[in-house]
Amino acid sequence: MTVTSNLTRREMSQHAYEHLLFHFARNGDFGSDGDGLIVLSRGEGPYVFDIEGERYFDALSSLFCAQIGYSYGEEMAAAATSQFSELAFNTNWGTAHPPAIELATRLAGLAPGELNKVFFTSGGSESVEAAWKIVRQYHLANGQPERMKVIARSRAFHGVTLGALALTGVPTFKEPFGDPAIPTRHVSWTNQFRSVRSLSGTALTGALLAEIEDVIEEEGTETVAAIIAEPVQNAGGCLTPPPGYWQGLREIADRHGIVLIADEVITAFGRLGHWFGSERYEVEPDVITVAKGLTSAYLPMGAVLVADRIAQPLYEQGRTLLHGITFGGHPVAASVALKNIEIFQRDNVLENVLALEPFLQARLSELLDVPIVADVRGAGFFWAFELCSDDRGTRFSPEQRERLLRQFLPRRLRESHLIARADDRGDAVLQIAPPLISDRRQLDDMAGTLESVLRDASRFMHVRG
């Protein structure tokens, strides 16, 4: 069947309903009449347009990807076209090509400390799995084959392919698919709004780190391969670390011979105002996983950045890296990633985030006046509102969350021409992550729209101030 672009929205929706399986969505919800579906066909700056020309502010950057927004298509296309005419494809399987070599060199230069080796993938889940395999080979080469286990954090999302899924801490995503491929223990997240034993600051840090120590002791130090964590955890709503948390993870990992992995699939490439979120928290992980913002999603690509020390055994005589992905390091994607980095530097993308973060934080914090908003948290251009049924932080029931997060908010956001994420991991959260090129006026407008949506949500859910 040929797809023609002159279909009406209703026809598009019908075709989608008949043929397109949506990811992490209730496929039946969109209905054959296609009423619930937004079909996007164009982008410009931080905005996307549907096929009827309606404009939406993309306050989610197309799932935390569109760092530089949507107006660099021609420049990206020129980089891609030039690479297509030179060498459309070849692999990193024992041969190499200039874009992959140049990109690996650029990333090594941008990454903190000794993270000088780069393994390319096609996306985030692949990066997480590749990271674990590289870590395993490190331990095997060091004569520690029993180091298999990973410590991850509860409710964290690290991807859905079977290895990455084992590290993901969301039981409903895992249970249908059998035993986890990687033995994993999940420890408490860094939720400071609903913190462990209501602790805060360094007392909370101490409790969280003590829990990790206890888990390591229970499992046996000699069996733990890695600790994996996001600098700011996405799932649960932009959970920033309490003071000294990352330094504590670093110290624990060093003391026990455990590899520290920062999963930066969301937090790298400016989301927190730095190339890597780890920089913001002044930690040097052993391994960093990236994807999404590496190309600002102009093409799919991911990478694993590995410290020299961890990669060293892979350079020993006769040892093979037992992992490979056909499209990892695709030359056209690598050219686009290089262009993305060039644009970041030329157009001061990181500087924009750092300059506007105080304004964004202050503007969003004003929404704490809205009855349903119990907490506003985040960093950089990565923020969440926790929504509660009263000012004591009482959670909505599952039925209320269904009405609020799956019915009211998606509809009301759509009417307001704002794309944001209403998320339900037990706590009701509304998340935003605008493109990093958004200016002050656009962020201000976004906050104004959010305020009116959330005031309506307060009334809808009968929450009083």
Tracing tokens 């009405």 back to the chain, one arrives at 403
Binding mask 204-233 for ligand PLP (x = CB under 6 A): --------------------------x---
Our measurement of the distance from residue 27's CA atom to the centroid of its chain's CA atoms, rounded to an integer in Å, reads 23
Cα–Cα distance between 101 and 97 in angstroms, integer?
A: 6
Question: How near is the Cβ of 266 to ligand PLP at its closest, in Å?
Answer: 5
> Per rule CB under 6 A, is residue 423 in the interface with ligand PLP?
no
Cα–Cα distance between 241 and 192 in angstroms, integer?
A: 8
Binding to ligand PLP in span 135-164, by CB under 6 A: 157-159
Q: Which two tokens stand for residue 91?
A: 């692999």
Binding mask 393-412 for ligand PLP (x = CB under 6 A): --------------------
Give the torsion through C-alpha atoms of 347, 351, 357, 358, to 10 deg.
Answer: -130
Question: How near is the Cβ of 64 to ligand PLP at its closest, in Å?
Answer: 7
The DSSP secondary structure of 244-305, one letter per residue, reads THHHHHHHHHHHHTPEEEEE-TTTTTTTTSSSSHHHHTT---SEEEE-GGGTTTSS--EEEE
Our measurement of the distance from residue 13's CA atom to the centroid of its chain's CA atoms, rounded to an integer in Å, reads 28
Q: Which residue spans within 53-98 are E strands per DSSP?
A: 55-58
Question: How near is the Cβ of 219 to ligand PLP at its closest, in Å?
Answer: 23
> Per rule CB under 6 A, is residue 263 in the interface with ligand PLP?
yes
Within 13 Å and on the Cβ side, how many CA atoms surround 286? 24
Binding mask 77-116 for ligand PLP (x = CB under 6 A): ----------------------------------------
Question: How near is the Cβ of 38 to ligand PLP at its closest, in Å?
Answer: 20
Cα–Cα distance between 339 and 346 in angstroms, integer?
A: 10
Q: Which of 13, 234, 340, 449 binds ligand PLP (CB under 6 A)?
A: 234
Binding to ligand PLP in span 14-43, by CB under 6 A: none
Q: Which two tokens stand for residue 110?
A: 């941008």
Q: Which residue spans within 258-409 are E strands per DSSP?
A: 259-263, 287-290, 302-307, 373-379, 382-387
Residue 137 or 289: the one with the smaller Cβ distance to ligand PLP is 289
- DSSP-derived letter for residue 49 is E
Binding mask 180-209 for ligand PLP (x = CB under 6 A): ------------------------------
> Per rule CB under 6 A, is residue 291 in the interface with ligand PLP?
yes
Cα–Cα distance between 160 and 167 in angstroms, integer?
A: 9
> Per rule CB under 6 A, is residue 125 in the interface with ligand PLP?
yes
Shortest Cβ contact with ligand PLP: which residue? 124
> Per rule CB under 6 A, is residue 123 in the interface with ligand PLP?
yes
Chain residues that interact with ligand PLP, rule: CB under 6 A: 123-125, 128, 157-159, 230, 234, 263, 265-266, 291
